Structures are given as structure tokens and as C-alpha cells.
């Protein structure tokens, strides 16, 4: 009998600790086909964007299936009240927006980690246990082994998007159970009074301060990087976890095609 592939992909924490440069993409389109295309294009990871995207839990579950089937590690950016259900449908990682303090980061760790047996090694949390979920193979892979795999293998990425969070970046990154810290430059720029102009000097200074603080705390720093030049600049400040956006890529291609710069495509 062929060994079944477990629904839960647990490779993300190790990837984030690897020290290598990772390139991923935010996807706010509720489409498993887009997820597969991101995998086939060669991205290192995908962030299903349920903070700003329209996907239902059912659509998100199908996108996680597509990611798992095509070998693409997938996180879900979700709001805090959706953490439990997002984990139960099989997210291999969560990316949580607007984390301003280490206390908030520590509370999120508690929501991601299952309680452990008395005396067991590792972080123990308060996540509700239900082994009938997709993450546990509907019971096929439940029990203590699923608890251990989940606690060790689900990544938690917290987002810094305000001046308060910038000031607390080192302490947030130092929280045990936080695997990476990602800067949301658009929200940070707005919070600093610069609208969407995140290339303004004060915002860039805050980004540099944050990336260096996270790297200094020994965690993986992340940032939106929409061009090779952005990536190289932020990498020099310590960033290793870079993301672009599917809709931006698609709209750029559509505009080029609409304006006559049609590329030859293989169908």
C-alpha cells in the first residue's frame, strides 16, 4: 500500500531557519489554479492573503490542497479570530498582521501551539484539539504525533506595521515560537504619515532599523520586495524572506499586453 501524504506541510520553520534567501508571493485571488502556477513558476513559498482577499474557508482549503499537491509551502495571512479554523484546514504557517508588542506575539504563540503532556519538551500552548480536521488527516494522523508535528512544524510569522512595533522589533522577534518577522511597508508608511510612499527616507530608515533588529535577535526578517533592486537593498539590511504580489504581477503583464508589448506564450 502506498504511504499517504500527510495534508500538513511542516517544512516552513526549517526553511525560515535555513539562512537562505527565500522568494515568495502573496495571493489574494481565491484560485487553486493561481496557487499551482506560483508553484510551477518556482516560488519558495506562498502566502494566501485572507486579510485582504475574498477567499472563504472552503476556498482556502482548496488552495492549501493545491499548494500541497504541487509542493509549494503555504502560509495563510489571516486575522486573529480566524487562527483556529485556518490551522484546522491545514495551513503550514500563519502570517498575522499588526503585531505591536512582544506580549501580543507571545499570545499568538499560545493560539498556535497545542497543550503538551506534563513533562514533555517544547513550547506548550492553548490551541483547541480536534483530530477530525483536515490538518490531522480527518483522524488518520491524529493524536500525540499530530500535536508534536504541529507544534514543531507550523510556522508563525508576525507583521510589523506601526512605529510602536518598529520600536519593539527586537523584543517581538525574541519571543520563543515566532519564526519570522515581516514588515508591511504600506501600512507602516501610512502609520508614519507618509500615505503609501514607503520609499520616503523616514520610512526606509524605520524598515532598516527593523530588519537589523530582527536579524540581531536571530530570527528571519521579511519584507515586500517588488523588484530585484528592492531585494538587494533589503538583503543588505538583513532580510531573507521576500514577497511580491500575484495581482501586481498579473496586472503588469495585462498592461504590457494591452499596450502592444505581447510576449510569446506557451499554452
Long-range contact pairs involving 237-241 (C-beta distance under 8 Å, separation at least 24): 237/207, 237/208, 237/211, 237/212, 238/211, 238/212, 238/214, 239/211, 239/215, 240/19, 240/20, 240/21, 240/22, 241/16, 241/22, 241/24, 241/157, 241/180, 241/182
Rounded to the nearest 10 degrees, how much is the dihedral formed by the CA atoms of 253, 247, 178, 196?
100
Specify whether the CB–CB gap between 130 and 139 falls below 8 A: no
Helix axes 32-41, 57-70, angle to 10 degrees: 30
Of 52, 104, 146, 194, which is the active-site residue? 52
**Selection from 46, 58, 57, 41 nearest residue 9 by Cα:** 46
| DSSP string for residues in 110-162 | HHHSPPPPTT-SS----PPP-TTSGGGGGGTT-SHHHHHHHHHH-EEEEEE-S
Q: Is 190 a catalytic residue?
A: no
Any idea which residues carry the catalytic annotation? 52
Amino acid at each position: 500500500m502506498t504511504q499517504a501524504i500527510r495534508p500538513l506541510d511542516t517544512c516552513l520553520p526549517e526553511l525560515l531557519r535555513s539562512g537562505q534567501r527565500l522568494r515568495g508571493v502573496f495571493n489574494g485571488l481565491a484560485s487553486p489554479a493561481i496557487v499551482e502556477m506560483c508553484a510551477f513558476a518556482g516560488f519558495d513559498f506562498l502566502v494566501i492573503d485572507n486579510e485582504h482577499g475574498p477567499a472563504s474557508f472552503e476556498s482556502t482549503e482548496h488552495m492549501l490542497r493545491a499548494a500541497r499537491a504541487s509542493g509549494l509551502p503555504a502560509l495563510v495571512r489571516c486575522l486573529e479570530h480566524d487562527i483556529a479554523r485556518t490551522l484546522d484546514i491545514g495551513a503550514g504557517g500563519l502570517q498575522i498582521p499588526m503585531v505591536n508588542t512582544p506580549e501580543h506575539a507571545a499570545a499568538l504563540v499560545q493560539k498556535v501551539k497545542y497543550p503538551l503532556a506534563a513533562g514533555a519538551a517544547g513550547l506548550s500552548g492553548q490551541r483547541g484539539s480536534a483530530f477530525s480536521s483536515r490538518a490531522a488527516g480527518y483522524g488518520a494522523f491524529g493524536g500525540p504525533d499530530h500535536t508534536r508535528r504541529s507544534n514543531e512544524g507550523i510556522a508563525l510569522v508576525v507583521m510589523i506595521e506601526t512605529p510602536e512595533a518598529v520600536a519593539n522589533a527586537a523584543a517581538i522577534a525574541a519571543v520563543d515560537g515566532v519564526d519570522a518577522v515581516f514588515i508591511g511597508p504600506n501600512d507602516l508608511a501610512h502609520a508614519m504619515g507618509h500615505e503609501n510612499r514607503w520609499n520616503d527616507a523616514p520610512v526606509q530608515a524605520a524598515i532598516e532599523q527593523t530588519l537589523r533588529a530582527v536579524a540581531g535577535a536571530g530570527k528571519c526578517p521579511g519584507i515586500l520586495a517588488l523588484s530585484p533592486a528592492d531585494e538587494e537593498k533589503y538583503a543588505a539590511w538583513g532580510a531573507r524572506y521576500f514577497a511580491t504580489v500575484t495581482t501586481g504581477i498579473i496586472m503588469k503583464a495585462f498592461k504590457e499586453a494591452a499596450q502592444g508589448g505581447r510576449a510569446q506564450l506557451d499554452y
